[in-house]
Chains A and B, each alone.
Chain A
Amino acid sequence: MLRITCPHCGPRDEIEFRYRGDASLSRPGPEDDAKAFQRYAYERENPAGMHLEWWLHVGGCRRALKLQRDTASHVIGGAGEP
């Protein structure tokens, strides 16, 4: 059970949130080649450890937040506004 501290609503249960993937990626620009888009769309570091990720507080304030979470222990390092 994760307890996520939403910057707007305070600590809430994970059931109110939806995971939205790796937040460390940045979208390539128009000058970048197809390979850069392939890396952005598909390839993931997928660490067994601290991971920066998007969560959407869909059952609360409906705002997105970034979360530092350990994918092996589920320890949460911190949450903040994007």
Chain B
Amino acid sequence: MSKPERGLGWGGLPPPGHHGALGRDPVKLQAFMRDAVEVRLAPGMAEALRHAAAGLGLALPGMGESAGTGSATGAVTTLGLAPGEWLALARPEEPGAFARRIASGLEAAASVVETGHGLACFSVSGRAAREVLAKGCRLDLHPAVFTSSTAARTVIAQIPVTLWRKDEAGAADSPVFALAVPLTFAQSFAHFLLGASAGTGAEILPASKD
């Protein structure tokens, strides 16, 4: 018997297909999976953390920024969400392996807590993505303000959301917004996305590991 797919149990979006109005420019909605660890700088260890992160090949961007390292399956996206606090995200691998790798690499310079099991991730892409998210998101998502290296935590539909861009390089006119919400709110958040995209129409894609 094969192992059950991790991260698929929460449902969230309905089965793949079209949703809402039959517009010319439907947004793409997709649930995706990430391993995640929260990295917090230990007091007085800034220099040690910088050194350890460099040794690990882990980028530690400034507050409000995101940075990617590695490519394809080994890629890690790190989001700077508060002073001395980062969320590192990676494609799903063996349970616990990502957190162990980060924790052993950073040693005493930071506290590392695995949080991926508590997160549900969605992406909203396409030309109308900004318009759809604006129905609940109060941040300015204009490409000049919210660039492909911006990260933020905010509140959408009364649900705490971590927001960043998950673009392929050179896709400036068609941004891919990524949103991570607490797993227990995944259904409610999917409900918000469906409501917000009903006017433009949406293409629902199968849940993905990428």
The interface of chain A, by Cβ under 8 A from chain B, is 8-10, 12-13, 15-16, 58-63
Contacts and interface: CB of A to CB of B under 8 A. Distances in A.
B81 interface: yes
B153 to A, nearest CB: 5
Interface in B131-185: 138-139, 152-155, 158, 160
Given A13-B138, A16-B155, A63 B83 contact: yes
Interface in B61-103: 63-64, 81-83, 85
Q: Is the interface of A mostly helix, strand, loop or mixed?
A: loop
A9 B155 contact: no
Contacts of A62: 82, 85, 153
A19 to B, nearest CB: 15
Interface of B: 63-64, 81-83, 85, 138-139, 152-155, 158, 160
Given A15-B138, A16-B155, A59 B160 contact: yes
A12 B153 CA distance: 11
A16 B83 CA distance: 17
A15 B153 contact: no
A10 B82 CA distance: 12
A19 B155 CA distance: 16
